[in-house]
Amino acid sequence: MPEGDTVLQTAARLHTALAGQVLTVSDLRVPRFATADLTGRTVLEATARGKHLLTRFEGGLTLHSHLRMEGAWRIYDPGERWRGGAAHQIRAVLATAEHTAVGYRLPVLELLRTEDEEQAVGHLGPDLLGPGWDPETALRNLLADPARPVGEALLDQRNLAGIGNVYMCELCFMARVTPWVPVGELPLLLATRLVSTAKQLLEANRARPVRITTGTTEAMRRAYGRERMFVYGRARRPCLRCRTPIRVAERNDRPAYWCPHCQSGPTA
């Protein structure tokens, strides 16, 4: 599932392509909103809230979408061939005189009043990349269920919004604990650092694909060279710290990567 920084990048592309322009084509290919027509409305903005995308239009309407595992928004110039997938995978088309935005494989797509956006995203915890970021509330949320594995707590968007499986694995490695350690067993200082490091990493990567070294020290950048991740996607490859082979296990249909030497705690 895309991380919060990836969704933010998608929102930025949508905003650059559509904001301030009048829609010439509006096609929502989901049964509930198939007859909705936004043609003639000006696109006000596209923004992200955690992993949710909110595209706002004049007249007080918002198109809410979520990418989940396979969804994507692609931007095309007039006359450019659409290459994001088969035609039957298209769920939304928003076009202006200058660009066309095509939503592929969107599992969540709904049109709602802008004043009702909280019905779609009000459950989210503090947004790591949002203007209302609140680390104290995020920490309280994270520690609210002490018996919960830290990996699950980090991924729960109700605690803090924006962390996906990649960052979860990388954060646990940096904290030197496995994803299955009960979050209540973390020393308070470590839990606090976990929240601040999550913020640091997402901010460092908000304008580019996830690269763990950009949010750390110059010494680490020199030590790990061009490696993009400490553990994620590196199963059976040597740990960058200790050279022990990285392990992987499925947790809730998602792969969890960890180093059995550098990270302490229970395993899958």
Catalytic residues: 2-3, 51, 254
Rg from Cα positions in the chain: 20
Tens of pLDDT, residues 85-102: 999 999 999 999 999 999
What is the pTM assigned to this prediction?
Answer: 0.85
Residue 223 vs residue 122, higher pLDDT: 122
The rounded percent of the chain whose pLDDT value lies above 70 is 91
Closest alpha carbon to 240 in 230, 226, 250: 230
pLDDT score of 80 more than 90: yes
Tens of pLDDT, residues 126-147: 999 998 899 999 999 999 999 9
Tens of pLDDT, residues 143-154: 999 999 999 999
